[in-house]
Amino acid sequence: MPTSLWLRTDERKRGPRPTYTLDDIGEACVRLVDSEGMRALSMRRVADALGTSAASLYRYVAGKDDLLALMADRVAAEFDFPPLTGDVRTDVLAIAQQSRSLHRRHPWLRETPATDLGPNSIRYLDRLVGALAPAGLDATATMMGVALISGWVTNFAAQESAGETASASGGGAAHMSEMLAHGDYPHLTALFTSNASGAATPLDNDTAFVAGLDAMLFGIAPAASRTEPPRPERK
């Protein structure tokens, strides 16, 4: 197995002293892909952005897979975690909201494989594990919870980046009502006519995002998910 990028020896081949750090390379990758999309990422383009040659860049990385790992970890450095409160729902939501924002700023993140985590990515993982810790889950259940939460954030943000909204899901309320009126869908009809207005209450994206997290937390840690976050004091 090849050694992780971050665990390789600092000793370099004979030659000039290294000019760039891994963060420098990751930052160049992020700027390039933010501007031009994932298709623009190549050793040559990153080398051009750094003002060096592709051959020189191979002194630092083995290829494109290393570039993907560096750019994902560079974005993870943008997290600014508040102190953990000990309330599972509050702490998970705070992390998930930041992750959602990062994915919206950098939509290409969902295309980066999570096979070689760097120090900033592991810091995110560590904080999410810490947020779930008060639930008293074992290691398997905790990491499954981390995977579910991370997957929800990634997919939700990807839909937002594509311009999709929770209120327009399935074609929107008007479309759904028309379809239900022209077919035999007893369960959907009962659901959509179960309140006084005759239609399901539309969700905005923020409400849908939190509702999805609450639903997952109920499955991951039922007791902890019932804990309401502290309400702000009225002034």
**Residue 60 sits in the same domain as residue 109:** no
Q: What is the CATH number of the domain that holds 149?
A: 1.10.357.10
What tokens were used for 147?
A: 């995977």
Amino acid identity at 207: T
The residue-averaged pLDDT of 73-99 equals 95
**Residue 10 sits in the same domain as residue 119:** no
Most confident among 85-99, 106-120, 149-163 (mean pLDDT) = 85-99
Domain that holds residue 121: 88-165+204-225
Look at residue 196 and tell me whether its pLDDT is greater than 80.
Answer: no
Q: What percent of the chain has pLDDT over 70?
A: 78
Calpha distance 18→124 (Å, rounded): 29
Look at residue 10 and tell me whether its pLDDT is greater than 80.
Answer: no
**Residue 138 sits in the same domain as residue 33:** no
More confident residue, 165 or 64: 64
More confident residue, 232 or 31: 31
Look at residue 172 and tell me whether its pLDDT is greater than 50.
Answer: yes
Per-residue model confidence (pLDDT) at position 228: 52
Query: Which contacts (CB < 8 Å, 24+ apart) does range 63-69 have?
Result: 65/113, 65/116, 66/5, 66/116, 67/25, 67/29, 67/41, 67/43, 68/41, 68/112, 68/113, 69/5, 69/112, 69/115, 69/116, 69/117, 69/118
Residues in contact with 129: Cβ distance below 8 Å, sequence separation at least 6, in sequence order: 142, 143, 146
Per-residue model confidence (pLDDT) at position 193: 72
Q: Are 149 and 156 in contact (CB under 8 A)?
A: no
With respect to residue 28, please indicate whether it lies within any of the assigned structural domains.
yes
Per-residue model confidence (pLDDT) at position 105: 93
Q: Are 214 and 89 in contact (CB under 8 A)?
A: yes
Per-residue model confidence (pLDDT) at position 15: 57
With respect to residue 221, please indicate whether it lies within any of the assigned structural domains.
yes
Per-residue model confidence (pLDDT) at position 3: 76
How many domains, the chain?
Answer: 2
Look at residue 37 and tell me whether its pLDDT is greater than 90.
Answer: yes
**Residue 95 sits in the same domain as residue 135:** yes
The residue-averaged pLDDT of 4-8 equals 83
With respect to residue 173, please indicate whether it lies within any of the assigned structural domains.
no
